[in-house]
Amino acid sequence: MSFDTGLGLAAVVVLPLLIAIGVGASRYAGLRHDKGILTAALRAVVQLAAVGAVVGVALQHTLGALGFVLLMFVVATFTSTRRLRSSAVVPRQWMYCACAIGGGALVVLLLLILPGVVPRNPATILPMGGIIVGGAMTATTLAGRRVLAEYRTRYGEFEAGLSIGLLQPDAFKLVAGPVAGDALLPALDQTRTVGLVTLPGAFVGMVLGGASPTAAAALQLVVLIGLVAAESIAILIITELLSRSALPDGRTVSS
């Protein structure tokens, strides 16, 4: 048995073993993600198999690529909303996530595609859109969960800020705002250590596809800086929107 990717029979044995290691480590450390690791792996198998068939069609036309990026955005919004809801239920949470992810991704993609920084063709738009939307989703989720957790933990300080005349957004950002920046650390670390610790996918993919290392490095630089910009915008938007939302009572929000 073999795969078109060339992974071969070894992958059939090693991949389940890697999943088992992840589940075992999660259980031993009490991370409570045992089921999540298993379901994420199974979903990845099914989704990538389906996407493999659809992407071939999407890459034939620019509208198809844009439509697929839009689908990515919808799924990203749903995923971030679900993650934030597990921290606290805030009205219009899905709208906040959509604005954060869409705002960050749209600004960056327009700046990269319209002036021709990256080629304006489906083969570039689709992967670039997926990378930027995915980064904005991750930043939105991490920032949203972090600021809501901080708000819950320091609710007394938030109330104290209100009592001395601060408006809700100012009190919220004073207490919870600074921790939102933690969501940008993965993108910053990846950018700082690129070529020294990691060789990201865009670079490796282009080199394996026959492009020169210089061209691959240039595209990877665009991707990394674009991610930092998109995630920064997403963090700004989600923090601002949450600071102005109908916040739950921090004394009754469950963990």
Residue 18 counted as domain residue = yes
From the list 253, 248, 236, the residue with the least C-alpha distance to 107 is: 236
d(CA 13, CA 178): 45
Does the residue 211 lie in any domain?
yes
The reply to whether 181 and 234 lie within a common domain is: yes
| Residue 249 in domain | no
Number of separate domains in the chain:
2
Residues 134 and 84 in one domain: yes
Domain of residue 147, residue span: 61-243
End of a domain among 16, 34, 58? 58
Q: Are residues 17 and 134 in the same domain?
A: no
Query: Closest by alpha carbon to 78, among 141, 144, 148?
Result: 141
- Look at residue 253 and tell me if it is in a domain: no
DSSP H or E stretch at residue 91: none
* Residue 14: pLDDT over 50: yes
39 shares a domain with 19 = yes
Same domain, 71 and 49: no
Residue 254 belongs to some domain of the structure:
no
Cα separations (Å) of 43 from 32, 47, 80, 138, 188? 18, 6, 17, 18, 29
Instruction: Compute the average pLDDT of residues 134-162.
Output: 94
Q: From 58, 82, 98, give the residue that closes a domain.
A: 58
User: What pTM, to 2 d.p., does this model score?
Assistant: 0.82
Residue 158 lies in a domain: yes
Structure-model confidence comparison of residues 206 and 159, the more confident one: 159
Last residue of a domain, one of 41, 58, 75: 58
CA distances from 93 to 53, 77, 184, 254 (A): 33, 10, 21, 17
The rounded Cα 183 to chain-centroid distance in angstroms is 10
Q: Do 48 and 89 fall within a single domain? A: no
Residue 219 falls within a domain, yes or no? Answer: yes
Tokens 């992967």 -> residue:
127
**Which two tokens mark 155?**
């609710």
> Same structural domain for residues 163 and 195?
yes
User: For residue 238, is pLDDT > 90?
Assistant: yes
Closest by CA position to 98, among listed 128, 78, 71, 72: 78
Q: Are residues 106 and 211 in the same domain?
A: yes
Q: Average model confidence (pLDDT) for the chain?
A: 86
Q: How far apart are CA 97 and CA 120, in angstroms?
A: 27
147 and 54 inside one domain: no
Q: Which residues contact 16 (CB under 8 A, 6 or more apart)?
A: none
The two tokens of residue 98 are 């959509």
Quick one: 133 and 221 in the same domain?
Answer: yes
Give 159-190 pLDDT, tens digit per residue. 999 999 999 999 999 999 899 999 999 999 98
pLDDT of 234 reads 97
Clarify whether residues 34 and 148 are in a common domain.
no
Cα–Cα dist 132/110, whole Å? 11
Q: Please report whether residue 202 resides in a domain.
A: yes
Q: What is the pLDDT of residues 115-133, one digit of tens each?
A: 988 888 888 888 899 999 9
Better-scored residue on pLDDT, 206 or 145: 145
Most confident by average pLDDT, 50-54, 171-175, 208-212: 171-175
Residues 213 and 200 in one domain: yes
Structure confidence at residue 60 as a pLDDT band (50, 70, 90): confident
Give per-residue pLDDT as tens, 95-121: 999 999 999 999 999 999 999 888 888
